[in-house]
Structure 1
Amino acid sequence: MADCLFCSIVAGDVPAQHVLDDPDAVGFLDARPLFKGHVLVVPREHRETLTDMPADALGGFFATVQRVTAAVERAMGSAGSFVALNNRVSQSVPHLHVHVVPRNRKDGLRGFFWPRTKYADDTEAADYADRIRTALVDGNTDRP
């Protein structure tokens, strides 16, 4: 879809810190992360919501989300993660995307008040993306 930001990222027309590029899904750092290492996983093909995704594609897509979740936890050395998706309401980009956010106890994330942060610069963002890519390549699903 020409006017979709995430489709433009998938196509390589808009730069992003990619951590995963699979045939069916792409993962990249959220430009305004809840915590550094916050990844968005999107289907390569434009789907606005979860209900727009073909049932036979869900298993592969969520298997990818599972891999990214393990990699984020490992790469960030976090105690756990927050995995979420919105359908229309609070969906800032109308393209299905799953948030994978590294979490630690007493990290300040409470309820639905989610303060956003920023990477210091592109170099710092690239370092976080590299750490997650490395954890994905390692393929080890063990916890950190």
Structure 2
Amino acid sequence: MIENKKKPNPIDIHVGSRIRLRRTMLGMSQEKLGESLGITFQQIQKYEKGTNRVGASRLQNISNILNVPVSFFFEDAPGEHSSAGGGMEASSSNYVVDFLSSSEGLQLNRAFVKISDPKVRRKVVELVKALAAEADAD
């Protein structure tokens, strides 16, 4: 028997991943976001996985709660047409999104922004670059 499950639309998956990205950047739980919207955390999970499509008014509410414009959720979306020369920017942006979507990237980012001394920040960047260069050499 052929299974007839509908696959989530790539745009819905992308929008959901951007909701998750922003929510985690703010340190907000699915429960808290759901509570703010008057829905369950399970529904937030479905939005974030792209299983359920987010309606326009709900997306507007989410953007208000997460303090980003609605367009944030569509940045670098599949099939998005960018201006000439935008290919490098898109791949760079995807790299940042992937980094911030990881637990380590999020932790590193949160810790880094707490460092107020510019000299210390530069030293941290130099350290990370040196470690990356070592890893590349191996």
Which bracket does the TM-score occupy, shorter chain normalised? under 0.3
Q: Point out which structure has higher relative CO (alpha carbons under 8 A, 6+ apart).
A: 1
TM-score by length of 2: 0.27
TM-score by length of 1: 0.27
Is the helix fraction higher in 1 or 2? 2
Structure label with greater radius of gyration: 2
Is the strand fraction higher in 1 or 2? 1
